A = this chain, B = another copy of it.
Amino acid sequence: MPINSIISLFKEVLDNSSILLGEDLKSRFYHIWKTDISLESLCLLLPRSSEEVSAVVKICNDNNQEIVIHGGLTNLVGSTISTKTQVVVSLEKMNKIIEIDEKGKTITCESGVIIEDIINVVKDKDLLLPLNFGARGSAQIGGAVSTNAGGLRVFKYGMTRNLVLGIEAVLPDGTVISSLKKLMKDNSGYDLKQLFIGSEGTLGIVTKVVLRLYRLPKTRFTSLAVTNNYQNVLNLLKIMEDRVSSNLTGYELLWNDTYKQMVGDKTLYNKYLPDNYKYYVFIEYMGGDFENDYTHFESIILDCIDRRVIDDAVIGKDDKEQVNIWGIREDVAVLADERDFDQQFDISIPVPLIGEVIDKISLELKDCKGVKTIFPFGHVADGNIHFIIGKDSDDDDLKSKINDIIYDNTQLVAGSISAEHGIGLDKKKYLIKSRSEDEIELMRLIKKSIDPKNILNPGRVI
């Protein structure tokens, strides 16, 4: 179909200000880190309602027109890049919070709402959305749902999947599948929302969601503890789980080189503990009773030092200290090289094996000519470790050698090549290291059944 013809069809269902073309695309981009690169696209559509999304998708499906979906553009696997022949549909104007149900502890909103805005608005009502990851200030909730985003509190609250109670999504033929119920339990037929969560926009466009909220914990304490022995990282976790039970809300790990970099010259973070330990554990405790909780938490930490489970520790009690401590864990931009040669990873490994696998990977990486820095860090209690690997150059052979080292070692222990970032375009080549041929075939069957013309986020995942 000629470009002008399909644009004129879009004009029948969207007003002009919702259709960006030509020059207007120059100020648009496909990733928040690439704002200097203009968007390539046939046109960018900005629907304001599920009905408009449905109408647009139906036109595309009828005309075999490929669509790339845009949310907050924080995706890390290339999912939001598009070509000159693809239509981009951005959910940014669908940014209304529809309802906060304080008593029922749910929020219903459109897909384009920024995650941090949800966090803040429910916090005012003493409620918690436990989603917590670096990009929360830009990422939209629809994107988080479509990619099943993770973050810092997964071992406690689960992935985004676990927080979604209801969903509305537009299928590739334009059908609106809507189930915006506020129910924690619903076994009435197939749980269709699971299809749209984590399938990276390949099976439908998520337009609205109902999320589960929690009561906002009243107290928060953080400890940074050190040890030279991975077994003690596990022992400490076990003691915490046994003694503070479910009020353990964070358990994160930095390796020595990463810690050194985080408290080095590039930052202003207070170096609470010497930089000669192998492991730096970040522990978060959230409870309901300030004095009682603090005394309890402190006594456990002291006991762990006495029993040599950890070599030393510091406890952050007030907000300022905790912001500083968590900055050391979270402010990972510090680990990146300014020349953009880095490679970033997001793997899952069975928790007991993390110590030895990361040692092995690090050793092999050190043997690679061209590798400058190796910074592992991550969500150790749920098995998700990230790497930022700095290099001398952008050489393709080196890139591929590093990928092989990380993904082969991950495959050896039945890990995952993508714990939380998804597959997108960038990791497709390595999907076979995490999933069997039969599994990928079943994914293809599902994709083909629901999107027979392959118009939605084509080429992503499979």
| Interface of A toward B, CB cutoff 8 Å | 101, 103-105, 126, 147-148, 150, 154-156, 158-159, 161-162, 171, 175-192, 194-195, 197-199, 214-215, 217-218, 234, 238, 241-247, 249, 286-289, 292, 296, 348-352, 379, 382-384, 414-423, 427, 431, 434-436, 438-443, 445-446, 448-450, 461-462
In the complex, which residue of chain B has the Cβ closest to the Cβ of A155? B184
Tell me if B443 and A189 are in contact (CB < 8 A).
yes
Tell me if A187 and B246 are in contact (CB < 8 A).
no
A169–chain B nearest beta-carbon distance, Å? 10
Complex copy number for this chain: 2
Tell me if B418 and A148 are in contact (CB < 8 A).
no
Across-interface contacts of A379 in B (CB, < 8 A): 185
Tell me if A187 and B147 are in contact (CB < 8 A).
yes
Across-interface contacts of A198 in B (CB, < 8 A): 187, 190-191
Tell me if B185 and A416 are in contact (CB < 8 A).
yes
Tell me if A416 and B187 are in contact (CB < 8 A).
yes
Tell me if B150 and A185 are in contact (CB < 8 A).
yes
Q: CA of A294 to CA of B153 in the docked complex: distance in angstroms? A: 27
With contacts A183-B415, A350-B101, A416-B183 known, is A288 near B244, CB below 8 A?
A: yes
Tell me if B162 and A158 are in contact (CB < 8 A).
yes
In the complex, which residue of chain B has the Cβ closest to the Cβ of A349? B183
Q: CA of A74 to CA of B195 in the docked complex: distance in angstroms? A: 28
Q: CA of A442 to CA of B110 in the docked complex: distance in angstroms? A: 22
Tell me if A245 and B288 are in contact (CB < 8 A).
yes
Tell me if A438 and B176 are in contact (CB < 8 A).
yes
Tell me if A185 and B421 are in contact (CB < 8 A).
no
Complex partner residue of A215 from B218, B242, B383, CB under 8 angstroms: B242
Tell me if B350 and A192 are in contact (CB < 8 A).
no
Complex partner residue of A171 from B154, B351, B384, B442, CB under 8 angstroms: B442
Tell me if B186 and A416 are in contact (CB < 8 A).
yes
With contacts A185-B419, A461-B189 known, is A179 near B435, CB below 8 A?
A: yes
Tell me if B245 and A192 are in contact (CB < 8 A).
no
Q: CA of A332 to CA of B175 in the docked complex: distance in angstroms? A: 43
In the complex, which residue of chain B has the Cβ closest to the Cβ of A348? B183
Complex partner residue of A439 from B182, B189, B242, B292, CB under 8 angstroms: B189
In the complex, which residue of chain B has the Cβ closest to the Cβ of A156? B246
Across-interface contacts of A187 in B (CB, < 8 A): 147-148, 150, 159, 198, 416, 418-423
